[in-house]
Amino acid sequence: MQNSLPERRQARGWSQQRLAEELGVSRQTILSIEKGRFDPSLPLAFRLAAVFGCHIEELFTPEAESGE
């Protein structure tokens, strides 16, 4: 899954640590989500969208599968 988390976070001037603290998760969780190594749970995705004042679909987009 692709995401716009790093761009949105940096636009606010926030570090990964600051975003992690806002959400009550570890910095490693934020790093893993930003790098696409971890897809957040639905509750966490909703909290991320709320922090950035947008819809989940604006933060996360599915990667196109091969053969489509």
What pLDDT was estimated at residue 34? 96
What pLDDT was estimated at residue 20? 98
**CATH numeric code, 2-57:** 1.10.260.40
Domain ranges of the chain: 2-57
The segments of the chain whose pLDDT lies below 70 read: 64-68
> Rounded to whole angstroms, how far apart are CA atoms 1 and 17?
22
What pLDDT was estimated at residue 23? 97
- In DSSP terms, 3 is beta-bridged to 60
Residue where the block lists tokens 């692709």:
2
- In DSSP terms, 2 is beta-bridged to 61
DSSP assignment of 3-46 equals: E-HHHHHHHTT--HHHHHHHHTS-HHHHHHHHTTS-PPPHHHHH
What pLDDT was estimated at residue 62? 85
What pLDDT was estimated at residue 68? 47
